[in-house]
Structure formats: structure tokens, C-alpha cells
Structure 1
């Protein structure tokens, strides 16, 4: 994992990562966060919902954005200041999601970066969309 200097980051730079979400991911996330909403963990309950099957926690899906920000762009030595999120479609167990971040604004004062953040599924459907504000500490 290489640290990028603020001066080396440009508007338009982007990075992404992909992951197939597993049963274990959902169960582990539920345990860590104590979010046992049955739409995420109870198959019989979920069958009676509009989704007709269990869905992944929205925040777990959004968490992949944090992984890109912390490890790739802007990467290590960055502080997550804020994030707005819009959940536009469910993620299901077995879906492969891709989190992508793109620099859309760079503020020299205080080394602030504004990034477009998007998570898509394997069909290219946007499942999470938003904007992050990051402070680069180098």
C-alpha cells in the first residue's frame, strides 16, 4: 500500500475494488454491529418482504467505499471527514460489488479532497451513490 502525496493527487483520479459478498460477511457484520434486522439474517422473514430474499446491510455495501479511500485513493494517512449516501438498489448475498471513488474537487487549503463515491453490482447497476470529504494528512 503506497501513500500518495496530496500534490500527486489530481481531479479525475479514480480507484476501485471489487468483492463478492458472502453469507459469512453478512453474519459477521451483523454480529459486529448488532444489526440483526431479519431482512438481513432470516430467510423466512425476508421471503415475505418486497425483496423476496435476504439482502446485505446497506452500510456493509457502503463500507467498501471506505476500503478504497483508506487503501488506494487517497490512501493511507487520510482522514474520512464525511460521507453522504443514497442507497438505490439492494445488494444480495453472492453479488459482486465494485466500489469506485473519483476525485471531483481538490482544496489546497487544509488539503481537502471531495470524491464521488459509487458502488455497483455485477450487472453495472448502481446500488450506492454519494460524495465523500477526505482530509489528506501528508
Structure 2
């Protein structure tokens, strides 16, 4: 077998069914995640980066950026490999946050197929997912609605 024989493992449009549910692995939000995000984005907001200030807020401590929660959740989805080589575009997204994510919280996701429809272009379709993000105490911390354009056939190298 050669690299050119590799077929990406992602699920095709036809393999997604409305109502299907999947649980991802989990990941702990660390100090390094927050510092790296602050450096990358240039957003050094005190709520996330100043321990003394964080203790004086309504949260009682520093909290993770909402965008870090979103980015880590998309990474958890990517680690399932269900989108690899088949999801060609993220067409739309909406995110709401129910609870703060704190340093050392461990989050995981439940992915639910909400809707699907064929694309106007043959060979692909549009699939809408609802993603529920939970912490280690099974409290929902975020909810996402992601709309992907997904190929009808698996890609290969």
C-alpha cells in the first residue's frame, strides 16, 4: 500500500442520519491554552489572564475565553475523524454559552445530526449539527449549531 492508496475515514453525506448522536473524547483546559490563545489573538483581557482581577469578578476566578471552549470543542470533533476528507466547508455557525469554563475543567461534546439536505451541486450535501459541550460534572457549558458542506464520496490522496 502506498500513500496514494489512502482513503480518508470521514463520513459521507449519505452516512449521516438525522438523529444520530456521537460522544467525543475529553480534554482539560489548561493555563497553556489560555496563554497561547491570548498571544495568538492579542486579547489579554483581565478576566482570563489576571488572577487577582479574576478573583474579584462574579466568577470568583479567571475563566477560559469562550473562543477557547469553541476551538477545543472543534478539535474534539476533529479527533473523531468523522469529518476528515468529507467535510469541505463550514457554512455557518452559532454558539451560545450557558456556564463559564474554568481552568482545569475537562470538556467533551455530544454531536447530534439535526438536519440534512442535498446541495444544489451534485456530489455533496448540507448537514446541520447541534453540538452540546459539557464539563467534567456533566453540566452543559456551551451549545453550537454547525452547518457543513459534506461530499457524497470519500476523498483519497
Per the normalisation by structure 1, the TM-score is 0.90
- Are positions 1:51 and 2:59 aligned together? yes
Q: CA RMSD in A?
A: 1.8
The answer to whether the 8 Å contact 1:84/1:131 transfers is yes
The answer to whether the 8 Å contact 1:68/1:100 transfers is no
Task: Please tell me whether Structure 1 or Structure 2 has the larger radius of gyration of its CA atoms.
Answer: 2
- Are positions 1:135 and 2:149 aligned together? yes
The answer to whether the 8 Å contact 2:108/2:133 transfers is yes
The answer to whether the 8 Å contact 1:105/1:113 transfers is yes
Corresponding residue of 1:93: 103
Q: Report the number of matched residues.
A: 138
- Are positions 1:8 and 2:15 aligned together? yes
**What does the per-residue CA deviation read over 1:36-95, in whole Å, with 9 as the maximum and x for residues that have no partner?**
111101100111110110100011101233224444375123111111111111000010
Corresponding residue of 2:30: 22
Per the normalisation by structure 2, the TM-score is 0.80
User: Which runs of no fewer than 5 residues in structure 2 stay unpaired?
Assistant: 1-7
Kindly state the Cα deviation for residue 130 of structure 1 after the two structures are TM-superposed. Answer: 2.6
3-state SS of paired residue (1:44): helix
**Equivalent position to 1:34, from 42, 45, 60:** 42
Equivalents in 1 of 2:98, 2:148: separation in Å? 23
Higher RCO structure (Cα 8 Å, ≥6 apart):
2
User: Which runs of no fewer than 5 residues in structure 1 stay unpaired?
Assistant: none
